Amino acid sequence: MNAALRTQRALQLWALVGLLSFGFLPWYFLQQGSLWSALPGIWAGPETASAWTQASLHQRPWLWTGWVGLLVCAAGLMVPALAHAKRQGGVLICGALIGLFGLVLSGFAVGATGWSFEFLEASWGALPQGQFGMGWGAAGVLLPLVVLLGAGLARRGYCKGDVFVSAAVVVCVVLLSLFVVYPVCRSLVAGFYSEEGALGLGPLWDRIGTPRIWGLGCLHAQRQCGVAWNTLGLALSTAVGTTLMGTLIALWAERSGTRLAKPLNALALMPIITPPFVVGLGLILLFGRSGVVNQALEWAFGIPPTRWFYGVFGIWLAQMFAFTPIAFMIMRGVVQGVSPSLEEASQTLRATRMQTFWTITLPLLKPGLANAFLVGFIESMADFGNPIILGGQFAVLSTEIFFAIVGAAIDPGMAAALALVLTAFALAVFVLQRQVLSGAQFTTVSGKGDAGVPMHLPPTVLLFCRSIAGPWLAFTLVVYLFAFAGGFVQTWGRDYTFTLNHFKTAFDVQWGQFGWVWAGTAWNSLFNTLTLSAMAAPVCAALGLLIAWLLARTEFRGKNAFEFAALLTFAIPGTVLGVSYILAFNVPPVELTGTGLVIVLCFVFRNLPVGVRAGTAAFKQIDRSLDEASVMLRASTLTTLRRVVLPLLKPALVAALVYSFVRSMTTVSAVIFLVTAKYELATTYIIGRVGNGDYGVALAYCTVLMLLMASATSLIQRWVGRRELGRREMKA
């Protein structure tokens, strides 16, 4: 069987899957109950029935458009593809568009109680009933229609006629549009609507054009500035500080001739394997009202304890501790990638080590500095845990958005307006970073060997790095040790008796009448977090590597827009994405709020840029000739991807899996709005305990998470190994 015939058979199978889903799967999504429990009702009630039954018996005729579209596609697949490729492509495109437009437009036009728009009801009259959010049956019909649309475009010459590439592009575009672009646009547009439903700039200005948002009272009085300036100033300060500190640590580790790589790498993993607010809790134990420092001052000098640490300084210091190791990881890879041969050439031309550092080494760090700054800026703006714990009277946009959603006066419009401001700041820095790096080349690692020895830092630079980074690293260890110790004492600041009661409260296990009972209050959140993260990680890694392959190895129209959409969630703070999912998926046609599935989707698309970037970096190291050799031997694109490319991507695949899993376990800003009593997560449980003043249980839980994530990360890192560039090691 040749490749063309296999492709034809595969497309026919897709059409058959769509037709079977239309007739034998429940069309609407069931909030209560599983797919298996709903199958007996596919011929019965209006909630569990299949699309065929819904259209035939329950007065939902708009669903027939999906059936018609699939039949047109099935008819087109009866046409011989080799002799009439363009004709078959035209029929497939026509059928797929009939089905997709019919189902998507009806999904938005018909809501839970009838028409979603008044002009439709005035034109067509009232509907006897509305519809719920789309479910398994809809997914089983829409996915084949999307694949067949991609196949039709390939038959018409798109993506050089490669059906797999074209279908993959169309599927990825639809997924990114549905779960990234649509919710973000939906949430941002909501800020322009008034409470009466009127659209315009007036409602947006009424919400954000206030001194509460843009006030500058801190410049001329003893008052605070608006939350927008608070957020921007804090983000800029954190980005500058973390970039500087991360660079100093990276230079010290890689260019000092000391053996600090392993301990610094272990320190760099700490913010990844812990929730972002753990550092804040450790700082509270040091500088809080009952902290060690305040108690020491009261004992030595009689100074009464105050809340001086809560506010902008406390948040900034916590974010510096939390995000500096991330900047270090970025800069460490960039420092490792600087070619020693360029530095040796400079010194051969009689330049001093200081001149070489300023004219060769430092300019080549420019892309890393820009990336580290961007990451620090966005992480600071998206951070919710540290501001909610240490903010005091200092308000930032992430906490204001949270209180607009769950506060006493629930105002989704205000949350959307504040999210628009937050997104504007993030995208502005993202675009500025791209402009700074555009038009310059920083390639220093090629396919040729480079046996040069990296240049040692000039003595002055090394002394500066040690004097700044050394005390900082020591202080970081102290903070983490205090955070670790806080779960083992009775009451911090009052009773330092060693105890395991906090661990027992969270993770108690008892023997009951019917066996073991998970009696601890934290088990439910831990099991939920593990399950949902394990579900999201493989999907995130697979989709990210597929998108990376499309960007690195294929050419198609709209590639730049496709890449921007794939990396959009990297530039959008997690708080905005969480608000977007609440507003977009709370009503039909996609009604997922309150379910575990919406949390999994948030995990997947929030961490998707990590898989894309990991895959892109890996593809740059794989010569295209391997792909081309497979194609010349008449292997299909799918076979080449599965048997040639994928085995070479194992390190990138494992890295994407680890990162997406760990980040899903420890994220808070993106999911703080999505959790429910049934689907409580570890980070929200800890935030709740901190809000109640129960720091012991919160820190005990953090300790368990740290040990769990450290074990998982170290095991998988052994499988991944380290990058080898064929260079000689710098001797101490």
Instruction: State percent of the chain over pLDDT 70.
Output: 88
Neighbour-count burial of 120, counting CB atoms closer than 10 A to its CB (0-12 exposed, 13-18 middle, 19+ buried): middle
The arithmetic mean of pLDDT across residues 49-73, rounded, is 94
718 pLDDT band, cuts 50/70/90, is low
**Residue 178 scores a pLDDT above 90:** yes
The arithmetic mean of pLDDT across residues 684-698, rounded, is 88
149 pLDDT band, cuts 50/70/90, is very high
Backbone angles phi, psi at 197, to 5 degrees: 95, 10
The arithmetic mean of pLDDT across residues 585-595, rounded, is 89
Return the amino acid letter for 57: L
User: How far lies 243's CA from each of 237, 270, 326, in Å?
Assistant: 10, 17, 9
Q: Residue 168: its pLDDT value, please?
A: 93
Give the HSE-up count for residue 688: Cα atoms under 13 Å, Cβ half-sphere.
14
Query: Whole-angstrom Cα distance, residue 532 to residue 599?
Result: 7
The arithmetic mean of pLDDT across residues 104-110, rounded, is 94
User: How far lies 305's CA from each of 50, 492, 583, in Å?
Assistant: 66, 14, 43
- Condensed to tens digits (0 to 9), the pLDDT of residues 392-412 reads 889 999 899 888 887 666 788
- Condensed to tens digits (0 to 9), the pLDDT of residues 510-553 reads 887 777 888 899 999 999 998 999 899 889 988 988 998 888 88
Neighbour-count burial of 678, counting CB atoms closer than 10 A to its CB (0-12 exposed, 13-18 middle, 19+ buried): exposed
Give pTM, 2 decimals. Answer: 0.84
Domain locations in the chain as residue ranges: 3-156, 213-492
- The answer to which of 77-86, 204-213, 553-562, 618-627 has the lowest mean pLDDT is 618-627
- Say which CATH superfamily domain 213-492 falls into: MetI-like (1.10.3720.10)
Q: Residue 222: its pLDDT value, please?
A: 63
Q: Which two tokens stand for residue 45?
A: 């009630």
Cis before 458? omega within 30: no
177 pLDDT band, cuts 50/70/90, is very high
Instruction: State percent of the chain over pLDDT 90.
Output: 27
Name 381's bridge partners: none
Q: What mean pLDDT is reported for the chain? A: 84
**Residue 506 scores a pLDDT above 80:** yes
The arithmetic mean of pLDDT across residues 87-100, rounded, is 95
Q: CB-based contacts of 495: which residues, under 8 Å, 6+ apart?
A: 489
